[in-house]
Amino acid sequence: MPKGGNAESPCARAILHQQVSPPVHEPLESVGEPSYDGSIIKFDEYGRSMPRDLAAMDLAAGHVSKALPEPVLSGWGRLPMPGRELLSEHLEQATVGAVLSRGLGRSYGDSSLPAHASDRVVATRLANRILEFDEASGRMRAEAGVSLAELNRLFIPRGWFSPVTPGTKFVTLGGMVASDVHGKNHHREGCFGAHVQSLRVRLADDSVVVCSPEQEPDLFYGTIGGMGLLGHILEVTFTLQRIPTNWLVTQSVRVGNIDEFLAELGTAAPAWPMTMGWIDCLNRGRGMGRGILMAGRWATVEEARAKPPRPAREVVFPVELPNWALNATTARLFNMGYYWRHLAKRASGLTAPDPFFYPLDAILHWNRAYGSRGFSQYQCVLPRAAGPTAVREFMEHLTRLGGASPLCVIKDCGPEGMGVLSFPMEGTSIAVDMPATPGLQAIVDRLNEFVIAAGGRIYLTKDRFTRPEHFRAMEPRLPRFLALREKWDPGRRLRSAQSRRLFGDK
């Protein structure tokens, strides 16, 4: 029986305690992996990649041709690690003895991947029951594996929406808390964690605790944005927001260069609750940093269309493109087309939630476009204090280094939240996808040096290539996070491939 909720209402009757859906994505495919030192390594005849030294040993012993492909796990960047995941609808049981939880694997890098092939990794996506919902306040308690796609499907028609949503709906509540995700409304609403009231967490010693701002607050704020390293999130209690209709009033502006972009972002932020921009980061000269700025707000009843939006049609990216398909020339052509498709300088209208919040979700498996080599996303935030010059110089640096691709997103971030390692800080965030070429490690190194000098930081959920010394230099909050790990997991039992790389976990 829901606490404080109206269990007799049709909404509660329809939703509570049901598993809201079967898993919403197929297992992720994965081919190709850079080794820890960042150099790209060899593939065997099964398309399997191995650390260079192992590959050399196997080749020398003549094993490679006979070896069966090992199971691998990967994130959205499709750079795999040996490992397997345990899927269970009973998170409480499955997480006993586990060292890592993962949701839908939409983190790009290695945060949801095991440090060792034998590590017990629990996939939460079958544990997707909504446990309580209070229709007066919007407060919900749900299992960590509930996906945003399912929440949207069930709750948008009922007039509720997540207070914060990332650019994909194929994420779980557990993943949203562990990465403390931000959305187009960060300048108004902060991160998802700011809307969480409490968490039920299985700790490294296998005990289960409930934490909140009042109860074990250090665990609560360490778990928000803590990349699953303080405990397995079993349940999340948070508050949905009321929406007046299921349409958005949107505006898009074609912007000529990065300085104009920053000025437009500054003007849009007080006027619009949601803003973000796409940047053509391949264009040089006076048009460097040109792009399209998008802004939106929920439409009022008077503004909205009478009929709800039709469900978005999903198309599957049918094949993995060859690695050469996405190169500087094709990316430049794509960018030019995308930029000039926006013929009017300014356009406005009504938009459905899916194309506004999740344009990339319209094409399932779009990550195949980067080919078998996989890719990474570099996302950093540069503090407001560093000024527009820092953003312009970063963009120039990025273009010069050749790390650019068609996907480059710029966002305005509001003040830093309470999550001990949460990513956003007041300033400008830039995210860019980069194919995993042999030069990628060097590009990330140079960008990180720039970010450190500017006083910024990178986003762990996207990262795969940052060196530990760079992370230490950009993250003054790291000692506090490590002290929390020492308190809640002194044996460092909980770990990921990312924590092994960045924090020296065994």
Give the footprint of ligand FAD on this chain (CB under 6 A).
Answer: 75-76, 100-107, 111-112, 124, 144, 166-168, 171-172, 174-176, 178-179, 181-183, 227-228, 232-233, 360, 461, 496
| Residue carrying the six token digits 């986003």 | 459
C-alpha triplet 477, 483, 486: angle, nearest 5°: 145
Least distance between ligand FAD and beta carbon 299 (Å): 22
Residue (113 or 452) nearer to ligand FAD, CB: 113
Give the helix ranges, DSSP H, for 157-216. Answer: 173-178, 186-189
CB closer to ligand FAD out of 42 and 297: 297
Rounded alpha-carbon distances, angstroms, from residue 157 to 154, 275, 320: 7, 23, 35
**Least distance (Å) between residue 227 CB and ligand FAD:** 4
How would you class 208 by CB atoms within 10 Å of its CB: exposed for 0-12, middle for 13-18, buried for 19 or more? Answer: middle
DSSP state of 100: E
Whether 410 and 428 have beta carbons less than 8 Å apart is answered as yes
| Closest to ligand FAD by CB, 55 or 435 | 435
Which C-beta is closer to ligand FAD: that of 152 or that of 496? 496
Number of Cβ atoms within 10 Å of the Cβ of 213: 12
Give whichever of 41 and 123 is closer to ligand FAD, judged by the CB atom: 123
**Contact criterion met (CB below 8 Å) for 163 and 148:** no
Beta carbon of residue 420, minimum distance to ligand FAD (angstroms, whole number): 14
Nearer to ligand FAD, 41 or 427 (CB): 427
Kindly state the smallest distance separating residue 330's Cβ from ligand FAD, in Å: 20
Min separation Cβ 494 and ligand FAD, Å: 9
Cβ-based nearer residue to ligand FAD, 64 or 373: 373
Place of tokens 């919007």: 138
Q: Based on CB atoms, which residue is closest to ligand FAD, 257 or 405?
A: 405
Output Rg (C-alpha) for the chain, integer angstroms: 22
DSSP H or E run through 131: strand 130-133
Secondary structure tally for the chain: helices H, strands E? 15, 22
Find the shortest distance in angstroms from Cβ 281 to ligand FAD. Answer: 17
Please tell me whether residue 225 adopts helix, strand or coil conformation.
coil
Determine contact, residues 139/127, Cβ cutoff 8 Å.
Answer: no
Least separation, in Å, of the C-beta of 179 and ligand FAD? 3
Residue 350: how many CA atoms within 13 Å on its side-chain side?
A: 14
What are the angstrom distances between the C-alpha of 151 and each of 62, 93, 360?
51, 24, 18
Tell me the closest approach of the beta carbon of residue 181 to ligand FAD, in angstroms.
Answer: 3
Rounded distance between C-alpha atoms, residue 259 and residue 357, angstroms: 25
Locate 216 and state its tokens: 């074990």
CB of 423 to ligand FAD, least distance (A): 7
- Residue closer to ligand FAD by CB (options 257, 496) is 496
- CB of residue 305 to ligand FAD, shortest distance in Å: 26
Tell me phi and psi for residue 139, to 5 degrees: -75, 135
Closer of 112 and 252 to ligand FAD (Cβ): 112
Contact (Cβ atoms closer than 8 angstroms) between residue 391 and residue 432:
no
